[in-house]
Chain A
Amino acid sequence: MRFQSQKVAYYFFATCMLLLSLQIVYGFIMAFAHMGYDVLHNVIPFNTARTTHTNLLVVWLLTGFMGAAYYIIPEESGRELYSVPLAYLQLGALVIVGVVAIIGFHFNYWEGRKFLEIPRPLDYLVVVDVLLFLLNIGMTIWQGKRHSTTSLVLFFGLLMAALLYLPGMIDTDNQTLDSYWRWWVVHLWVEGVWELIMGAILSFLLIKLTGIDREIIEKWLYVIVGFTFLSGVLGTGHHYYYIGTPKYWLLVGGVFSALEPVAFLGMAIYAITMARKGGRTHPNQNALSWTVGCSVMSFVGAGFLGFAHTLPQVNLYTHGTLITAMHGHMAFWGAYAMLVLGIIAYAMPLLTGRKLHDTTTATFAFWTSNIGMIAMTLAFAVAGISQVVLERRVGLDFLTVQKELQVHFFGLTLAATLFTVGIAAYIVNFIRYGLPVGEVTPEQPGSDS
């Protein structure tokens, strides 16, 4: 840690841990409902659990990105954060918006549009909050000693994420157009600008952890984000196959989303190559595991499993089935959850001054959560394939098929338990680090670690 103000990141990371725990609780509520035990139906019906689960994910990832930015930007810009109180204010406001939204979800107060359920008045607060965040980060970069590619890509990614929140607020009476604009937000976030954020954070971690020259890492960062946008922007078409939009989207979406795995494969090869080439061994190998793991699991989850049902001929049958849940879980885990957990694993020893990165708990957390998530993905895959065959191909009744799937949700619950044990270990390690009281070490000339 080079600057006092980087400690702000700790409170964002702590919020992440809290929201992630809550997200897992709601996941279990849904898994039990799918098994036939919807005992909480009167208090937390399925749509409440589902909405809370996905919104908590989005909020904790965004909180993690903000925390990462508050850690990375001062270090990359060579100066203290523009305003520390503003950062705390902005975190407080975000938490309040989040809490109000989640309570609202339990009282039928929401917008009912998948992933964008936060009610409209709160949407405006989110926008204001993100603008404050961008102001803080932007001013730090603007007044900084240097403008690194990593910090510019990170800022550009965060700025675009904020701008792309706006199409989701376009009001329309036509369900098709409603979906059309909704995907501008959701798709262009997760398969577009969030990947810029991901690329930038990965670059920062690789520069720090491998000791490879910044110029080389940042050059490949441009190549990878270039491929991301080449495939991802027109790849939005894979959401426009069957919602009442013209048929040419089957061609456009099919071709460009078939290229999407290339960007993820590039990211994985890039991280692995840099990690192997790294001349020196950084003490924090756990952070390197999360970094390389993130690139590999995002290729499997987002790249490979996404490709598995992105072709229009396949998607005709898998669209709107549990296959989407299979792909979604591993994609978000690999690309974004592991990324945030990776930057936390890197920053915590520096923020707190306690070297708990090579404890057994830390290693156990990495492997157990990943094995748990792979098993969960397999359970969703079997359930999804069964659903596609029985419901879409054989033509059995929906509820009849759902009863056949209950056993797979039992398997899912077992896998999710393993995953939860891994996350619990991660959080235990996080708590053991304690508060951010680490010492500031001034930058040595020529050093980039």
Chain B
Amino acid sequence: MLSKSAARSFFLVGTLVCVAFFIGLTVDTLGRVPAQTRAQNLTDSVKLGKKLWEKNNCMGCHTLLGEGAYYAPELTRVYERRGPQFMRALLKDPQAMYPGERKMVKYNFTDAEIDQLIAFFQWIGEMDLNGFPPKPHLVQLAVTATSTGGGVAQASDRPFVFNQMCVACHTMGGQGGLVGPTLDGVGKRLTADYIAAWLRDPAAVKPGTRMPRLPLTDKDITELTAFLSQQK
């Protein structure tokens, strides 16, 4: 039968061996992380962005690298998924961008701070994360799904800006958010001129609308108008 001193030796030897291995692996990991996380791109702006991320406890609602709370979207690939223009508008006034939805605190960031946060997310988005976040694969889109790293299924035959911004709130072909009405068949309901004016400033067309004025360039508006008015 096992004696108490044998049990103690098992505990001490086992623990020491495991701790030694763990410290060895940690030393190796510390050497490899800079390359795997593209640490050469850690600019001052990114570093300040990380400070803002911590100062405001963004992890208290969002996840980043899959870590944090589960109340707000995973942000690891947000730069790729939504793009800097959308992020800038959202960080300026979060509740305007998702009217009537789950609320984010309005932090009154300065333009410089917003740039730093966006730089931070861009850097996070370029890391090699061993395959995370996974690509959704149960869905069979009628059109080919692009391989976005954003983790949300999207179609590839659409304007880039549509896939970054419009789908945040609207669906098309069953994909997208449920904040605003679906854009299926929008070309049947609205004329190209109306769509262009609407995209330029929704509140000017329909005062009191909850749709925010999006940070779109003239080129974006031309492209989106052409695309949306074809949806019949």
Which A residues contact B (CB, under 8 angstroms)? 30, 33-34, 36, 38, 41, 45-48, 50-51, 108, 110-114, 117, 149, 173-180, 215, 218-220, 222-223, 225-227, 229-230, 233-234, 236-237, 240-250, 252, 316-317, 319-322, 324-325, 387, 389, 391-400, 402-403
| Known contacts A46-B69, A223-B2; A244 and B127 CB within 8 A of each other | yes
Q: Which B residues from 170 to 195 make CB contacts under 8 A with A? A: 175-179
In the complex, the answer to whether B54 meets A113 with C-beta atoms within 8 Å is: yes
User: Of B46, B67, B177, which is within 8 A of A399 by CB?
Assistant: B177
B161 within 8 A of A: no
Minimum C-beta distance from B47 to chain A (A): 5
How far does the alpha carbon of A97 sit from the alpha carbon of B173 in the complex, in Å?
Answer: 54
Known A242-B130, A392-B134; judge A177-B19 contact (CB<8 A).
no
B50 & A175 in contact (Cβ 8 Å cutoff): yes
Determine the chain A residues whose CB is within 8 A of the CB of B71 once the complex forms.
30, 33-34, 46, 50
Q: A249–B102 Cα gap in the complex (Å)?
A: 36
12 CB < 8 A contacts A-B: A46-B61, A47-B57, A114-B68, A174-B34, A175-B64, A242-B129, A246-B29, A316-B134, A392-B133, A397-B167, A399-B101, A399-B102
Whole-angstrom distance from the CB of A260 to the nearest CB of chain B? 12
Give the contact-size bracket for chain B. Answer: 35 or more
Cβ A219 vs Cβ B4 within 8 A = yes
Evaluate contact between A176 and B98: CB separation under 8 angstroms: no
**Contact present for A234 and B37 (CB under 8 Å):** no
Residue of B7, B21, B58, B152 near A220 (CB, 8 A) is B7
* Bound CA span A403–B98, Å: 14
Tell me the bound Cα distance from A317 to B102 in angstroms: 24
Q: How far is the CA of A324 from the CA of B18 in the complex (A)?
A: 26
A36 to B74, CA, bound (A): 19
Q: Is the CB of A112 within 8 A of B11?
A: no
Residues of B within 8 A of A322 (CB): 70
Which residues on A sit within 8 Å (CB–CB) of B7?
Answer: 219-220, 222-223, 226
Whether A395 contacts B14 by the Cβ 8 Å rule is no
Known: A245-B32, A248-B25, A402-B102. 10 other contacts (CB 8 A): A47-B59, A50-B71, A173-B42, A173-B47, A179-B65, A244-B128, A249-B25, A397-B178, A399-B98, A399-B178
Contact call B131/A320, Cβ cutoff below 8 A: no
Query: Do B151 and A50 touch (CB < 8 A)?
Result: no
Nearest CB on B from A112, distance (A): 4
CA distance A243 to B54 in the complex (A): 17
Contact between A233 and B18, CB atoms less than 8 A apart: yes
Cβ-neighbour of B138 out of A110, A320, A393, A402 (below 8 A) = A393
Contact A230 B18 (CB under 8 A): yes
Q: What are the residues of chain B within 8 A of A397 when measuring CB–CB?
A: 152, 167-168, 175-178
Most buried by B among A117, A175, A321: A175
Q: Is the CB of B37 within 8 A of A219?
A: no
**A393: nearest chain-B partner, CB-CB:** B138
